Amino acid sequence: MCFFLGSTNTATVVSKQTIAQEKQIDLSAQSEVITREKAEAEIALADAIPALEAAAEALNSLKKDDITEIRSFAKPNIYVQKVNQFMNFPPEMTPIEYQQQVHARV
């Protein structure tokens, strides 16, 4: 009877080792994907930073009269409308959160 328990325990251990090895292989594959996607995201971010800095500089050059003039348009261009939306979002929210809230109201 002891021999039978030993075989059962051995089979359980071997089964758990096999499952652990399969999970390790899956985790290694996921890690490679994550590493590749991280590198791609960092490249995209590096490409986007100059545009973001240029946009911030352009916003800093705006005068109150410019904003008043744009808001006086009856039907401004769609891009002007989007800029106006983002200029008015609360500072504690990210632009994405604000956009989601605007769409939720519609």
DSSP per-residue codes, 12-75: HHHHHHHHHHHHHHHHHHHHHHHHHHHHHHHHHHHHHHHHHHHHHHHHHT--HHHHHHHHT-SS
Mean pLDDT of 14-43: 95
Q: How far is CA 41 from CA 46, 68, 73, 74, 83, in A?
A: 9, 38, 38, 40, 25
Are residues 100 and 51 part of one domain?
no
Mean pLDDT of 62-91: 77
Does 6 score more than 60 pLDDT? no
Does 27 score more than 60 pLDDT? yes
Choose among 83, 81, 101: nearest CA to 92. 101
Domain residue limits at 72: 62-106
pLDDT at 31: 96
pLDDT at 105: 66
Mean pLDDT of 61-89: 78
Are residues 76 and 32 part of one domain?
no
Q: Using alpha carbons only, how large is the chain's radius of gyration in Å?
A: 28
Mean pLDDT of 22-27: 95
pTM of the model: 0.46
Are residues 48 and 66 part of one domain?
no
Choose among 82, 87, 93, 89: nearest CA to 67. 87
Are residues 7 and 39 part of one domain?
yes
Does 103 score more than 70 pLDDT? yes
Are residues 55 and 105 part of one domain?
no
* In the chain, % of residues over pLDDT 90: 34
